[in-house]
Structure 1
């Protein structure tokens, strides 16, 4: 609970009394017409607001706003926490429920992306190579195999963060064959992707199947997850013989297909195998271009006796910094989960979510993260079993300001009123001054990051709301209102 200090000025007492007197609506239950009222946020009239600002400090206004919101019909029955923190003085300016573990939603990506940047470096790139074995005769026939060697590139063929399309990569590969004088392949196209053997795993518990009306289909099995809790409805598709099973979200009344249904609400899904798609598209394009391939596309996870090979071409992914920028700006779940698996592989040699969680939590512990209240279940924040406290978020973000990659990390965050998932927030006050990661799940809205004040200070904040009433737009308005006075600190 925010504690008010005693105001010396009698005018300050009068102004705050007038302000709180107008908050008697705390006994009113939430209704759909609430936000249509002229004074929807129970703020003072313009006259009293001017008087109030004349006698109250910015800090006092922040505290008053927080206390007012505790009685707001949208928030009064919610569980929420707030901290605004001064990184220079290392002191909390204002807070409410700062040590309460809350569901962070996609602000979880703050931990995932920072761990990747810290351990791998912002210039890290994934490589996808085309190689060949055997020899090329005078007629341009390769008597050997082509190899596509992947490294777990999460952006492969997606066009995300400036990544090349499959078509562009294939064109580059064919150019490499031309440089080597290869006009026919008397052999197979082999996919060497041992990194991907962990693609089918147990999903984190309490995974949310719908986020902002967009489906996210994780790789793995739903075994052990209670479909009733996850709003998962499995039905058999009698109308499509190719697509046998699907699940339906009651939130959007839409469906998405699963690969396999094992009964009793258990679905098995998998992400598209990017290297396999690349290899098959490559073979098809070669044949259409007049370069025949006698063999087939086949995977080879491990190779006890590898053939001697020569590299023809190598495709480099965008930098990790570019991918993290895209991940945080667009709140991209699949990229965040891939980053989790990548740090797991780099540190533990195992490209699974389980290893990734061990690496991330280990890194946070070594970095002095306040682990009390932390439950890190996935890389993206889709699991409702994720928990973190507002105070640990702000202290973590504060610690990053001394890192050499802080500028890149800050740049990756959406900017209020200007970019990414914050483009539609802070279009008035705070425009261009709030740099933060958003988070949205059903009845969960979160925001954490940095705030540039009107006086040029940088403050750090965390604001997480769970189980609110009304719409997400209503919560956004309250969040903006809570943060607005902090701009004048």
Structure 2
């Protein structure tokens, strides 16, 4: 924490006094007009800035800004932590509450995406294959089955990170069948993937149910979670069926999902739309529409006691893991982050559940020397408010990654201040192109952690986590910029 008593030079004391005198507006009560006031906090005069930079060092300016923010009406009642760290000297340059566990929001994705890179490699891809059994006769009739074999591709059909749409994948599949001389299928289309059988699992604790006016019911079961004030979005049914489905919005994939089971006592169970099933059903419909008849139906087969001999027709490869992680961090994509968590769980434990994923991530962090004090890793995306991390553990962790062979891919995946992703509207002026960081946002939570390239060419690591602030998100973002900007001169 900053201590002004260490500034012994009279020039520094004089300058800081001048600065604080001009910042007395920070002690007044908050009002809606606060951010519009031309105070020295937000709009310092050019003369003042020159005097400050001439008399004070960059470190002193960072420390002064941190102390000023303690009395700022937006942050004075908040719980927040900050640290700027030099990866070469392995020393803290400036800090405040750096050992305090705080809700990290989507900066949690820093841990999830790095674990996937470390365990799977940046060139890892998911495969979705079309195969057939039986034989094709002289008339082009396949007397056998088609198989859609999935591998848990989280980008399947989404167009995310350069992924193909369902239409493009089906076009490739149909072209493959034409090459094999298949004109008609006298059999079923069988979906064979065991990877998604664990969709129904216990939800992360304290997950966000109501955020930014959107209602979220994440995939899984609310048994033992008991979220307060469950609210129905829409109930769908028809007069010809007694079946009713309860629809909600999932934060993991930005799509409507439905509760297919009501367990009583306010407990609902939901599932994701099944991507392989959608692909297989769309494939069948497209084949029939184009005159390629299919006599059978689409049916899942998770286990197969007597597997048929099959021949590969076509294989679709997902974008690389590096590409998917780039998209995940740039767009803060919750769906992909949760899928990556399940993927590392499956690859390490053969069980594609969030529970297995959490064990794999935390074991990886321990093995890499992560400071586990204050860490509570609950989900892959950061939607749970029970996630906790300390600013100092974040910066030491980010520092350790600079020696990894995939560091360039990891760094490139982070939004750039003033230029890309979720940082495009921050650091538009000072710091433009110099801040490489993951953002995090929940109601009354704003987080930023990553790397900065200083004006002298140094690379520094920082973390700034703010919980329970007052005012708007934009007000907090301005103060975050104010704290970090002087560090660019270090």
- Normalised TM-score (structure 1): 0.94
Larger mean CA deviation between 134-143 and 112-121 belongs to 134-143
State whether structure 2 residue 113 is matched by structure 1 residue 113.
yes
CA contact (8 A) 2:434 2:453 kept: yes
Residue of structure 1 equivalent to 2:448: 447
Give runs of ≥4 in structure 1 deviating > 6 Å: 238-243
Residue of structure 2 equivalent to 1:314: 315
CA distance, structure 1, for counterparts of residue 271 and residue 122 of structure 2: 28
Structure 2, unaligned runs of 5 or more: none
CA RMSD in angstroms, aligned pairs only: 2.1
Larger mean CA deviation between 202-211 and 474-483 belongs to 202-211
Deviation at 1:403, TM superposition (A): 0.4
What count of residue pairs does the alignment treat as equivalent? 482
CA distance, structure 2, for counterparts of residue 277 and residue 238 of structure 1: 20
Residue of structure 1 equivalent to 2:431: 430
Residue of structure 1 equivalent to 2:32: 32
Structure 1, unaligned runs of 5 or more: 250-254
Residue of structure 2 equivalent to 1:252: none
Q: 1:388 to 1:158 in 2, by over 3 A?
A: same
Larger mean CA deviation between 445-454 and 131-140 belongs to 131-140
CA distance, structure 2, for counterparts of residue 470 and residue 41 of structure 1: 16
Residue of structure 2 equivalent to 1:144: 144
State whether structure 2 residue 234 is matched by structure 1 residue 233.
no
Larger mean CA deviation between 132-141 and 330-339 belongs to 132-141
Q: 1:478 to 1:12 in 2, by over 3 A?
A: same
Q: Which digits, 9 at most, give the CA deviation of each residue in 1:160-205, with x for residues without a partner? A: 0000000010010011111111111111100001111101111101
Deviation at 1:6, TM superposition (A): 2.7
CA distance, structure 2, for counterparts of residue 276 and residue 27 of structure 1: 60
Matched ranges for 1:188-207 at <5 A = 188-207=188-207
Matched ranges for 1:7-86 at <5 A = 7-25=7-25, 27-39=27-39, 41=41, 45-86=45-86
CA distance, structure 2, for counterparts of residue 120 and residue 210 of structure 1: 34
CA distance, structure 2, for counterparts of residue 117 and residue 35 of structure 1: 41
CA contact (8 A) 2:23 2:41 kept: no
Q: 1:379 to 1:173 in 2, by over 3 A?
A: same
Larger mean CA deviation between 34-43 and 387-396 belongs to 34-43
Residue of structure 1 equivalent to 2:293: 292
Deviation at 1:440, TM superposition (A): 0.3
CA contact (8 A) 2:217 2:248 kept: no
CA distance, structure 1, for counterparts of residue 280 and residue 234 of structure 2: 32
State whether structure 2 residue 462 is matched by structure 1 residue 461.
yes
Matched ranges for 1:347-362 at <5 A = 347-362=348-363
State whether structure 2 residue 395 is matched by structure 1 residue 394.
yes
Matched ranges for 1:182-331 at <5 A = 182-211=182-211, 217-228=217-228, 232-234=230-232, 237=235, 244-246=245-247, 258-260=258-260, 261-331=262-332
Residue of structure 1 equivalent to 2:155: 155
CA distance, structure 1, for counterparts of residue 244 and residue 25 of structure 2: 52
Q: Which digits, 9 at most, give the CA deviation of each residue in 1:286-340, with x for residues without a partner? A: 1111111111000001112211111111000000000000000000000000000
CA contact (8 A) 1:234 1:265 kept: no
Q: 1:237 to 1:299 in 2, by over 3 A?
A: closer
CA distance, structure 2, for counterparts of residue 63 and residue 305 of structure 1: 69
CA contact (8 A) 1:81 1:96 kept: yes
What SS does structure 1 have at the residue aligned with 2:196?
Answer: helix
